[in-house]
Structure 1
């Protein structure tokens, strides 16, 4: 357990730093009114719908590096880093272009005119930031895979402080800069992500922690086979997060059909739930690394132990998060906005959010530990089924057909997360049992 905690705590802090950029944006934008916070919410929902695909694809790098390092293959680790550079930049350009295209057709999302007018330019600005965001993530995955997780943590915290400062400057027009409002928050986020990418790149090439792992490719080396492997293992992981994130983005879109108040309340409650989710996601990343290390050294016992410890840590934390959401729901929403209509609805949504904390924590760790044993295809099908066959359709029926409105949408999300958590946990223990019975440690994803 202590080994998992040592790896996971810096990842968790780094993940929290990343999501706190969104929290800071929402809190600082909240002073501009419900329309601005709703616009930021819907634009970020669209952004992360596609960004999550790239982040999920890149997340396969850390367990691959951990497995290679477990075999003491330093050259393979170095090639994974360089392949990650290529993959991160390529995915960033592709997804950035998709986001720019969507910003030009934002009317597809059927939002109120006021929200749409604010959201379009903001989405165009943050879409540019996806390239440095993915470049940073590729390097972070390499560093995390070697269990040097504090590096990204420190740089992410620096990025957060950078973002908060420039939010203050650009949103409100301080220090001689023009007052850009919501667009100022987008520019600040873009600059912060660029800062993080440059900082991470500079650190790994200068730090003694990575001596022996930063090697030039051998003469005639082709990255094509390695990139194909990363895509084969990573793309299903990208779709896992796309299906999950897509359900939440879809929920934001249909919440917007209920009006600005409903969308603002949804965004605030989801923003708070995302904070706790990122802690569980940090534990998931650590679990994937620990499982990958166990696969590298060939220990079935350590594979099962690493997965079980990760699940237990996530359940423990998310139980505490559930208590906080149920007890302090009104106070938490008022951190963002004082509009009583938004506060009352947001607090009601946090009650439901409190109950889906456990399911959310278990399902994200389940994805991580399965990724550690290279099982990626079946979890993708599970994610598709849980969120798009159960979660989002049920949320629509409850919200619109049965007139439960935003609360109905969130009950649908709760159902999808619960189904995903149950199926992924069963999948992990079933596979590891089969691995032990067949006396081999590799499973086809």
Structure 2
């Protein structure tokens, strides 16, 4: 056991800035939800609906950008700075193109909201909100390129600093623009969208300036010659990034489908789903941070061709994740009745019936969410280890089967065709996450044993 637990300290040291940074992204949504929730359940459901489109696009952008980390980590392990800079430069080009493309795709897809059987008042509110939040994808995905590069060099604190600053900006702008405080116009959920856009633009500018001023990073982040593009490097990043994007897309898309299915059940079901999803997203970011630690450490050991340590280190991260997720599951079980009350004004007499109904539904969903904490954490960390091995094609197939051939059919049937309702939707999510965790772990076991035997 000591062979694994002795790695906990370094794993946490590497992962905690990533966790805080990822939590920062989620905290933007958390702050938006709490502040918007004070306006009413329709406004909260509108933010949920608008963000459902953005989350799908975001999953593709963030998933694609993860291709940069293992390439930089391997180059760092092999002491090849030129290869690391090349990965960043080509990654920035591809992420900028992808961010703009996703923005325009969302604009084209906006009319779909009218065909999705969502409450009409929710759709009307969501439309102007979506325009601004969709454009914020451009700076966010460019930020991800710098973030993944920094993490590939095991420097995980700088993206965290940028995210903290962005959160402060977002909360201040939300306060001023959602409610019209201190003489600013009262813009409602559009004010929340402006806060998100401005904070993400500041985030990418701050991180680039911070990296530029650090001696170790200067050679990597300055003097780019974007006229010289190496098709071989572009192809390698796309080869790693596209399957990684699909992996994240398949998972985020099933949670987005849960939002849409909940919308069919009504605005209260959709608002309750948003509360449970937002809380689950925050604990999921711990798994995401440990996933980056697994990706970096496995990538380093791959560069050193040290496969026995690679396997041991990865398994130590899996064990650490399991222990932490058990803690989160306990917190959800104990706090499931209280946590949803943070999002709504229970004392609002005009909306009291709706608010109490939403709290009751959210408490039921958190009971299921408590159980899938373990599956969700394990699957994302094992996926990170497989990305560190630069194994992306088979894991992409595994995630598709788990979420869309197992999880979604269960969510659809139990949610819309049984008395389980919203809880049935989340039981389907639990089934998909568990299937993904088991199959991905078996894939990791197979690959690492084969590498050790052949070395």
Shift of 1:331: 1.1
Contact map agreement 2:179 2:187 (CA 8 A) in 1: yes
1:272 corresponds to which residue?
279
Conserved 8 A contact 2:178-2:190: yes
Is the contact between residue 280 and residue 365 of structure 1 (CA under 8 Å) also seen in structure 2? yes
Q: How does 1:182-193 map to 2 (within 5 A)?
A: 182-193=189-200
Residue 201 to residue 386, structure 1, CA distance change in 2 (3 Å): same
**Match of residue 122, structure 1, among 129, 133, 147:** 129
Q: Report if aligned partners of 1:79, 1:217 keep a CA contact under 8 Å in 2.
A: no
Q: 1:221 Cα deviation (Å)?
A: 4.4
Contact 1:129 1:194 in 2 (8 A): yes
Q: Distance in 1 between matches of 2:394 and 2:205?
A: 36
1:160-184: per-residue Cα shift (whole Å, max 9, x none)? 1110110001101123221000111
Describe the superposition over 1:137-172 as per-residue Cα deviations: whole angstroms up to 9, x where unpaired.
Answer: 100111111111100111101111110110001101
Give the Cα separation in 1 of the matches to 2:84 and 2:273: 42
Residues 219 and 312 of structure 1: CA distance in aligned 2, closer, same or farther (over 3 Å):
closer
Indicate yes or no: 2:350 matched with 1:343: no
Root mean square deviation, CA, Å? 1.3
Equivalent position to 2:160, from 127, 137, 153: 153
Structure 2 Cα separation of the partners of residues 184 and 224 of structure 1: 42
What residue in structure 2 maps to residue 173 of structure 1?
180
Q: 1:107 aligns with which of 114, 136, 139?
A: 114
Distance in 2 (alpha carbons) for counterparts of 1:243 and 1:202: 34
Q: Does structure 1 residue 3 correspond to structure 2 residue 10?
A: yes
Partner of 2:411: 395
Q: 86, 101, 120: which is aligned to 1:94?
A: 101
Deviates more, 1:297-306 or 1:375-384: 297-306
Structure 1: segments with no counterpart, 5+ residues: 440-445
Alignment of 1:24-35 (within 5 A): 24-35=31-42
1:219 CA drift (Å): 11
Aligned length: 439
2:236 match = 229
Residue 403 of structure 1 and its aligned partner are, at CA, apart by: 2.4
Tell me whether 1:359 sits opposite 2:375 in the alignment.
yes
TM-score, normalised via structure 1 length? 0.96
Q: Which residue pairs with 2:51 in the alignment?
A: 44
Q: Give the TM-score, by structure 2 length.
A: 0.94
C-alpha separation between the residues in 2 aligned to 1:42 and 1:27?
16
1:383 aligns with 2:399: yes
